Structure 1
Amino acid sequence: MKLYLDPGHGGRDPGAKGNGLSEKDITLDIALRLREILLNNYEKVEVKLSRTSDITKSLLARSNEANAWGADFYLSIHMNAADRSACGYEDFIYSGLSNSSKAAKFQKMIHDEVIKMNGLKDRGLKKANFHVLRETTMPALLTENGFISNSQDAALMKQPSWRQNVAKGHANGLAIAFQLQRKSSPVPTIPNLGTSYKIIAGSFRSLNNAKSRVADLQAKGFEALVETANISGDTWYRAQVGVYSNRRNAEQQMAHLKKSGFKDVFIIT
């Protein structure tokens, strides 16, 4: 699945502003988290972002790039704005499409998963004549993830854990829509199962330090947990990212962790 992921606005175009926030910053953060979740957890996924930093890019450049790349799906991430009382989540497909179109079917799947994760009022599935929905040659969806002008929605937007949940909701919906296969998932160490390869992204004497590392890993889209190890009579707390039955998969995940900034990663066989 080739996903063209478009964090709305950027550069000279801040998008909506309110409650100390700029739309362009929140959309980029969610999109980067979404990319990490998809690449970390699913097979055969390619993600191209319209921007990975705070740059100015026209709507025409975005739609042309997605079309030229041959994307399977176009997903544009936005935040809404209106009067202070307006709140909640809604998403849009092109107004010229029928309710039985492929875009409409994908919209329903993604909408249902996002609304499970974001804690926002459900404003429903909608249609609009937005450029990125009209001018793209593949199914396209634009999501409006809360109102930056609403103090309660904006308070959520300021929380990294909320932005991570929004990204997870989008990822879950995409996985259902495109029947994505998860990468080799961690398996329990069972006697006689064969050799397993456990990935450790940090080993600490302090439980709080281990928990902090796990939180950092989860914030970047990795599934992690704290495990306890007894070494020469001393208790150590490890940030475990997964257990793999295939050495190559473990090494690929270790390389991805190091690329994401976690240097003290090792494999236990």
Structure 2
Amino acid sequence: MVTRIVLDPGHGGWDPGAVANGITEKDYQLAIGLRLRDALLARYDDVEVRMTRETDASVDPAGMSLPPGTARLARELQARVNIANGWPDSVLISLHNDAAGDSRARGGTIYVYGPQSWVAAVAPDGKINHRAPRSYQLAQAMEPIFREMLAKHGIPCNGTKAGDFQVLRNTAGRAVLVEAFFSTSPLDAAAAKTEAFKADLTDAYCRMIAAALGLREKAPATTNPRPVRVVLPSGKVITGELRDSHTWIEVGGVWCPLRAWAELLGFEVLWDNNGPTATVRLPK
């Protein structure tokens, strides 16, 4: 079954989004969105990705005929919603960074649809994205990975909150909006501008989406895999593959690095070039 993902880099074209501390939201989020699209397609099987925009352009050029203001913005946001609603069973991930008048405001936040008074898993009207709390469950699967990545760079995580945003309110399917950091915070912005943060944010988004949607990671590509005899602790012998100096085995239909799998289960791996053979056993 193919998983459909719509990535929505916030703002664009006439709408710069938040501009602070050397970060223009529309540019930053487009760059992250393009990286994320490529990473998802490279890392996971059975995934299709569509972007609401791939350049610094409005998604609804016709809206430019309207004067700047609420009506133009509403048309622009609805054009993004229409992309998701027009692609059945897709999941919308809207990418943003936050801003505030107080430079002390910090952190990343995951939003799902709900009125501002909503504080529990289900909104007072019993709806999140108009159905059961599917988007909340999506966000909860994402949050631990998001929190860990932000902490690595000294940025707090504000958890999952309800937001009455048009892209969440009007999307028929599951949808989340992620504010990665506050660009108006000098501390957040300094971290966010580093290449290390951008790489980690892209990786975290990949893993967040994979965890939420149950994506299956691809086996690493290799030109000339070599068969490896693998002896399991039970004595059973299976055939793995040597790829780029690492042994991989198939577990439940998914290719995993042998050593990482074995050590996770409390075993060690002994290597013998004769064969070659990898023996998995309890440490002595």
Same fold per TM (> 0.5)?
A: yes
Aligned residue for 2:252? none
Q: What's the secondary structure of 1:69's corresponding residue?
A: coil
Aligned residue for 1:52? 54
More helix by share: 1
Where do 1:165-244 residues align within 5 Å? 165-185=200-220, 189=226, 191=228
Q: Which amino acid aligns with 2:105?
A: A
Change (3 A) 1:171 1:123: same
Query: Could you tell me how far apart the structure 1 residues matched to 2:228 and 2:90 are?
Result: 43
Aligned residue for 2:9? 7
Query: Could you tell me how far apart the structure 2 residues matched to 1:80 and 1:183 are?
Result: 33
Q: Which amino acid aligns with 1:99?
A: A
Query: 2:95 aligned with 1:94, yes or no?
Result: no
Q: Which amino acid aligns with 1:21?
A: I
Query: Could you tell me how far apart the structure 2 residues matched to 1:153 and 1:147 are?
Result: 6
Q: CA deviation at 1:91?
A: 1.2
Query: Could you tell me how far apart the structure 1 residues matched to 2:83 and 2:32 are?
Result: 21
Query: Could you tell me how far apart the structure 1 residues matched to 2:247 and 2:57 are?
Result: 39
Query: Could you tell me how far apart the structure 2 residues matched to 1:128 and 1:191 are?
Result: 52
Query: Could you tell me how far apart the structure 2 residues matched to 1:62 and 1:184 are?
Result: 33
Q: What's the secondary structure of 1:47's corresponding residue?
A: strand
Query: Could you tell me how far apart the structure 1 residues matched to 2:12 and 2:135 are?
Result: 26
Pick the aligned partner of 1:137 from 166, 169, 172. 172
Aligned residue for 1:68? 86
Aligned residue for 2:181? 146
Query: 2:131 aligned with 1:114, yes or no?
Result: no
Query: Could you tell me how far apart the structure 2 residues matched to 1:186 and 1:7 are?
Result: 29
Q: CA deviation at 1:190?
A: 5.5
Q: What's the secondary structure of 1:77's corresponding residue?
A: strand
Query: Could you tell me how far apart the structure 1 residues matched to 2:174 and 2:187 are?
Result: 32
Q: What's the secondary structure of 2:217's corresponding residue?
A: coil
Moved over 3 A (4+): 185-198, 242-245
Q: What's the secondary structure of 2:198's corresponding residue?
A: helix
Preserved CA contact (<8 Å) 1:115 1:169: no
Q: Which amino acid aligns with 2:55?
A: S
Preserved CA contact (<8 Å) 1:118 1:169: no
Preserved CA contact (<8 Å) 1:133 1:142: yes
Q: Which amino acid aligns with 1:61?
A: A
Deviations 1:41-69 (A, max 9, x none): 10000110001110112111100111012
Change (3 A) 1:118 1:195: closer
Where do 1:19-38 residues align within 5 Å? 19-38=21-40
Q: Which amino acid aligns with 1:10?
A: G
Q: What's the secondary structure of 1:113's corresponding residue?
A: helix
Preserved CA contact (<8 Å) 2:228 2:242: no
Deviations 1:137-177 (A, max 9, x none): 11110000100111111112211221121121121111111
Deviations 1:75-103 (A, max 9, x none): 00000001111110111101068715111
Query: Could you tell me how far apart the structure 2 residues matched to 1:112 and 1:10 are?
Result: 29
Preserved CA contact (<8 Å) 2:240 2:247: no
Residue ranges of structure 2 left out of the alignment (5+ in a row):
60-75, 123-132, 230-238, 250-284
Query: Could you tell me how far apart the structure 2 residues matched to 1:139 and 1:173 are?
Result: 14
Q: Which amino acid aligns with 2:134?
A: K
Query: Could you tell me how far apart the structure 2 residues matched to 1:134 and 1:243 are?
Result: 47
> Normalized against structure 1, the TM-score is what?
0.69
User: Over alpha carbons, which structure has the higher Rg?
Assistant: 2
Query: Could you tell me how far apart the structure 2 residues matched to 1:186 and 1:59 are?
Result: 39
Aligned residue for 2:136? 104
- What is the Cα-based RMSD across aligned positions, in Å? 2.5
Query: Could you tell me how far apart the structure 1 residues matched to 2:206 and 2:240 are?
Result: 32
